[in-house]
Amino acid sequence: MYLRYCKNLLFTLIPHPVETEDYKISFFKPTTQQALKNRNLIIKLFLAWAVAIFGFQVLLRVIEKPVPEEALITFSSAWEKIEAGEATYSDFQAAAQSMIQVMGKITIQPDHYAALKDGTGWALSKVYPEDELSELQQDVLYLSELRERITSLRDDEYLQTKELIISKAAPALDIGEGTLLAQLLAIGLDDNLQVLQEENRMMIPGIMDLYLIHNRSFLTDTIFLGFPFHYFYTAVLLLVFFIGLCWIYCYRTDKLHAKLNFLEQID
């Protein structure tokens, strides 16, 4: 009922066909029945098109909330204690684990990666036996050298050195040796484990915020055919809708032309 009222109101506000002999054309002042019907069809399809595209994105924007990843909550708590000088082993471990997780993100920028690498190595040095640290440092340097020399990432020596580093460093950070974080740790250690540059220390909390806070809502958290719903809507459904709109326009136009005996010239 309400929709019908709105529709009537909309079409009352829009000018209707005016029979004229002055050869003036205006989309909003159709001069024939065919033009009137065509205009109304275009307006309906245009509104559907605009709402489907922009309306949905506006809705997404309105209802979204910044939600931190679990890793950020862990990191923030640990980093606060580290900065206050009250950190325990588990705080260093938690901070390092969170930083490694961000280092594994595909979108990470090189300077951010370098800062986190510095931070991870430093955190590791705080929980690693001091007398064994130089040996680990040697292994890390050797891995870097090997990386320059090898022709295949499946090189035996390279893989063995990585495994050696994992077997030493991962337990110290409470990371399982067969995990993805352990793999990232092996290639994510700095050449100088004991020093965290002041510039990087300042940057790290901001970097963590940047990569670990996301705009989420029920539209992003609802799963549909395996997709987050908003992603499915924009990447798949909207395109189906566009084809549908085009089909409707052609079909309705053909019917209208047939009804009004509207013949198109061929040249």
DSSP structure class, residue 54: I
Q: Scanning residues 193 to 212, which ones bind another protein (CB under 8 A)?
A: 209-211
Give the 3-state secondary structure of residue 20. coil
Applying CB under 8 A, among 64, 80, 139, 174 the residue interacting with another protein is: 64
User: Of 133 and 159, which has the nearer Cβ to another protein?
Assistant: 159
Residue 218 interacts with another protein (CB under 8 A)? no
Residue 180 interacts with another protein (CB under 8 A)? yes
User: Of 34 and 192, which has the nearer Cβ to another protein?
Assistant: 34
Residue 42 interacts with another protein (CB under 8 A)? yes
User: Of 133 and 220, which has the nearer Cβ to another protein?
Assistant: 220
The count of residues in the chain is 267
Applying CB under 8 A, among 86, 153, 156, 261 the residue interacting with another protein is: 153
Q: How far apart are CA 101 and CA 132, in angstroms?
A: 25
The 10 Å Cβ neighbour count of residue 194 is: 15
Residue 192 interacts with another protein (CB under 8 A)? no
Only one residue has tokens 């260093």, namely 92
Q: Scanning residues 222 to 261, which ones bind another protein (CB under 8 A)?
A: 223-228, 230-232, 234-236, 238-240, 242-243, 245-247, 249-250, 253-254, 257
DSSP structure class, residue 235: I
The stretch among 4-12, 107-115, 126-134, 192-200 that binds another protein (CB under 8 A) is 107-115
Residue 142 interacts with another protein (CB under 8 A)? no
Q: Which helix (H) or strand (E) holds 83?
A: helix 70-84
The residues, any chain, with a CB within 8 Å of residue 15's CB and separated by 6 or more, are 28, 29
Q: How far apart are CA 124 and CA 95, in angstroms?
A: 10
